[in-house]
Amino acid sequence: MASVTLEHVGKSFRSGAPALRDLSLRIEDGEFVSLVGPSGCGKSTTLNLIAGLDEPTSGTVRIGDRVVNDLSPAERDVAMVFQSYALYPHKDVRGNLAFPLEVARLSRAEIERRVTETAELLGIRELLARRPRELSGGQRQRVALGRALVRRPQVFLFDEPLSNLDAALRMEMRTEIKSLHQRLRRTFVYVTHDQAEAMTLSDRIALLRAGELQQVSAPREMYLQPVNRFVAAFFGVPRINVIPPSALGLSGDGLVGVRPEDLEISAAAAQGSVPATVDLVELTGAETWVTLSAGGERVVGRAPADFALEPGASAFIRAGRHLRFDDDGRTIG
């Protein structure tokens, strides 16, 4: 039983604005939760507080039923995978995997058993005698995962573990982490700035901004029902169009948000559509991103790959599903 609970957690560093303000978040046992947000939003700070690498200025951190505020990382039963992998350069792979177990004073036989088992699980058995500098980026990533796994902790923490990998490898490791979670059924807390990564991996996502929690939801809900303009804009590529309703022929005040895939573009006028000019057409492969201007606003729509209009052409656009924001950016419908 190892849920992670943050209750009214605050964290200030000596210089500057507080890094975290009154953060309350409960991560259930076995759940995969991603912490996302722009850089400096407090996601890594949150991870460090859970890990015990930092102490909260106020509030309570619990792992399971235990308050862990005053416990060192060693006493918290957590493991962590780092962005730079942070493998020990002077130890070979075996030494890296064995190190946390040696610190915990396990028997030599038990260490050997667990190291072998973990290496097998990750397919790095033939690498055990190598030094980190002799490994490729993907291999280092696997060793870093292994060093976390070998301890069989209750909670796994990930600090942007994939951002140093190239695109292809990142996809592969993403799948690997997902399947690992499904097999282990332990609690995973995953920090990333990559919204697609968070979407595909997580049971739930927590979005932070300037030290404040914006929304905690399942990925689908996060995308479809963002609580405010910031959340709406954070997820989705291309970004959601946020414009005055009049530009799209809609009534009412404030602003509306229309996802590019909800913007219908056609050559002929239809009911409820407004005229627009095609500015830019970008083929991405499976689909086309179309930038248009309408009523003095710039909007982006998503069209099939065979989209036929050229830049400069006239078109008609109509908003399908859309969100409405009040003057403070809150979602009101």
Partner 1 sequence: MKRGLALLFFVGPFLWMALTSVWPEAQLTRPLPEALTLASYAGLGGSFARAVVNSLIVAALTTAVCLAAGSAAAFAIARLPVPGKGGLLAFALAVSMFPPIATVSPLYLVLRAVGLRDSLPGLVLPYTTFALPLALWLMTSFFRALPDELYRAARIDGCTPWQAYLHVFLPLSAPALATSAILVFIFSWNELLYALALISTPERRTIPVAIVLFAGEHAEPWGQIAAASMVATLPLAALVLLFQRRIVAGLTAGAVKG
Residue ranges that bind partner 1, judged by CB under 8 A: 48, 51-53, 72-74, 78-80, 82-90, 99-100, 103-104, 147, 151, 157, 159
* Nearest CA-CA partner of 196 in 157, 169, 228, 223: 223
Nearer to partner 1 (CB atom), residue 69 or residue 331: 69
Q: Which two tokens stand for residue 231?
A: 């959340």
Q: How far is the CB of 32 from partner 1 (least distance, A)?
A: 19
Nearer to partner 1 (CB atom), residue 137 or residue 272: 137
Nearer to partner 1 (CB atom), residue 84 or residue 266: 84
Nearer to partner 1 (CB atom), residue 50 or residue 232: 50
Which strands make up the sheet holding 66-67, listed edge to edge? 20-27, 4-11, 58-63, 66-67
Nearer to partner 1 (CB atom), residue 31 or residue 160: 160
Cβ–Cβ under 8 Å, residues 97 and 153: no
Q: How far is the CB of 58 from partner 1 (least distance, A)?
A: 19
Q: How far is the CB of 76 from partner 1 (least distance, A)?
A: 9
Pairing, β 204-209 against β 187-192: unpaired
Query: Any alpha helices (H) in 30-129, and if so which ranges?
Result: 43-51, 93-103, 108-122
Of the chain, the end-to-end C-alpha distance in Å amounts to: 38
Nearer to partner 1 (CB atom), residue 154 or residue 228: 154
Q: How far apart are CA 31 and CA 34, in angstroms?
A: 10
Cβ–Cβ under 8 Å, residues 245 and 254: yes
Nearer to partner 1 (CB atom), residue 160 or residue 214: 160
Q: How far is the CB of 75 from partner 1 (least distance, A)?
A: 9
Apex 178 CA angle, 237 and 183, nearest 5: 165
Q: How far is the CB of 121 from partner 1 (least distance, A)?
A: 18
Q: How far is the CB of 82 from partner 1 (least distance, A)?
A: 4
Q: How far apart are CA 116 and CA 94, in angstroms?
A: 9
Residues 6+ apart with CB under 8 A from 312: 277, 278
Nearer to partner 1 (CB atom), residue 50 or residue 128: 50
Cβ–Cβ under 8 Å, residues 147 and 97: yes
Q: How far is the CB of 30 from partner 1 (least distance, A)?
A: 20
- Backbone CA torsion sign across 266, 267, 270, 275: positive
Cβ–Cβ under 8 Å, residues 190 and 201: yes
Task: Please state the φ and ψ torsions of residue 266, each to the nearest 5 degrees.
Answer: -145, 160
Question: Quick one: which H or E segment has residue 223?
Answer: helix 219-224
Nearer to partner 1 (CB atom), residue 54 or residue 264: 54
Q: How far is the CB of 132 from partner 1 (least distance, A)?
A: 11
Q: How far is the CB of 156 from partner 1 (least distance, A)?
A: 11
